[in-house]
Chains A and B, each alone.
Chain A
Amino acid sequence: MTALVGDLYNYWISMVLMMIGFYIIIAQGNLLKKIIGLNLFQTSVFIFYISTGMVEGGATPILTEGTVLYSNPLPHVLILTAIVVGISTTAVALALAIRIREAYGTVEEREIQEKNYPC
């Protein structure tokens, strides 16, 4: 059992982080909070990818004399660019939230709905 925990702990925690982010996105009404939730979700995927790329006893993927075992460089490349793309798209989301605030005077989902469909 302890071996299983040690082997899969990284994956489990990234699932837990992903679900916390997912909960914030679907259950919490504040748009800024949702953006942070989306970010948690995103980072959990990063952690999952880098965990699969890790090789026990492997070196950082920078070629040096006499080293044969390296960690997998491919996930590193994918995630490295994904982080920068992620912050740019987050900025677009924040810009949209600011525009919503200017149009409705609030970023709470429920209040926006009430202003759209007053009953």
Chain B
Amino acid sequence: MELFIDMMLLSMLAVTALAIAYLKDLFAVVMLAGIYGLLSASLFATMDAVDVAFTEAAVGAGIFPLLMLVALSITGRYERSRRVSWVALALVSIVGILLIIGTVDMPPFGSPDAPAHTHVAPRYIEQSGEEIGIPNIVTSVLASYRAFDTFGEVAVVFVAGVSVLALLGMAPGDSRHGTDRSLNSMRQHKVLRVVSKILIPPIMLFALYVQFHGEYGPGGGFQAGVIFAAAIILYSILFGVGATKKAINQGLVRFLAAFGLLLYGITGVLSLLTGENYLGYNGFAETATNAQHIGILVIELGVGITVAAIMIVIFVTFSDRLNIQEKR
């Protein structure tokens, strides 16, 4: 049964992808991309990757289509007519067939003795319970065993946010008194307004739950950050970016983006001072598991703050650009 669901979801993904390639109306394409994100999140959930499914649902079906829609309203909705490129089609088919031939040697899907499962992973599964002392193995690996990797990834998110600011942030003209027409148009929809007003606080609470419960269940800083940002973006869409800027000081958000990363880095330096390796938490408390708990909690908080702040910065910067364009 599980295999059947898996195959159905994969087939639906393939059909959605074909429709994305075929359609010329980019608005429809973006909507399909949202569906694609939701389908892949369901697929991850059926393959036991709950943490990944969580993130994909918030990013692929939430934030990605929203950013695309804002970009679309700046660049135009329709693609120019084009001919099918037979050379490209031939090239893609050849590469695809070669790749598929390559998969014949792969271990069968779900086989427990595939090479991927015989190395490193068993150690995490067997030892993390004693060494780190938290049930969610994904969080153990993410925030303790491979905390340095994660540090790099948070830095990439931060740099991406700074790049977007550098590209679009220094807008010509004053953006603070934007008319907010485009995004304000949703204000007339009473049902949307009331429902989202009811929904936004629970979404934020849920984000905090995901943040601090990440050690015991699916969740953690990345997911929480994205969900928190989604709540604020929802607010911006309904009440306009101007209202969001009034409610939340953008300077503070930018500061928080850097602060989260700094918190992560400083935790590493503090662990050096206790005589451990960089981001080795064992010196923070009497027992190793307590120390690990403290370390993971702090760096997950850093991740959550940076991710949420950067997502908000990106969305606000994009919407500001849209308002400037409309004023011209």
Measured CB to CB, the residues of A under 8 A from B are 4, 6-13, 15-24, 26-33, 35-37, 39-40, 43, 46-47, 50-64, 69-77, 79-92, 94-99, 101, 106-108, 110-111
Contact = CB atoms under 8 A, between A and B. Distances in A.
B26 A50 contact: no
B96 A16 contact: yes
A71 B49 contact: yes
B21 A20 contact: yes
B201 interface: no
B123 to A, nearest CB: 10
Contacts of B13: 13, 17, 47
A60 B261 CA distance: 29
23 contacts: A8-B109, A9-B7, A11-B100, A22-B92, A33-B26, A36-B29, A36-B33, A43-B36, A43-B37, A46-B40, A50-B43, A54-B47, A55-B112, A58-B112, A83-B55, A84-B157, A85-B153, A87-B63, A89-B156, A91-B67, A91-B160, A94-B318, A98-B74
Contact of A13 (B11, B63, B124, B167): B11
B100 A10 contact: no
Interface in B4-63: 6-7, 10-11, 13-14, 17-18, 20-21, 26, 29-30, 33, 36-37, 40, 43-44, 47-52, 55-56, 59-60, 63
B21 A24 contact: yes
Main secondary structure of the interface of B (DSSP, over half): helix
A15 B96 contact: yes
Contact of A32 (B55, B75, B128): B75
B75 A26 contact: no
A47 B116 CA distance: 15
A44 to B, nearest CB: 8
Contact of B60 (A9, A19, A83, A89): A83
B97 to A, nearest CB: 9
A98 B168 contact: yes
Interface in B223-264: 223, 225-226
**B85, B121, B307: most-surrounded residue (chain A CB, <10 A):** B121
Given A28-B79, A84-B222, A95 B29 contact: no
B138 A30 contact: no
A97 B75 contact: yes
Contacts of B297: none
A19 B110 CA distance: 24
A86 B307 CA distance: 12
Most buried by B among A26, A27, A88: A88
Which 8 residue pairs across A and B have the least CB separation, nearest first? A88-B160, A56-B110, A7-B108, A27-B88, A19-B96, A27-B85, A71-B48, A11-B103
Nearest to B116: A52
A24 B20 contact: yes
Contacts of B7: 6, 9
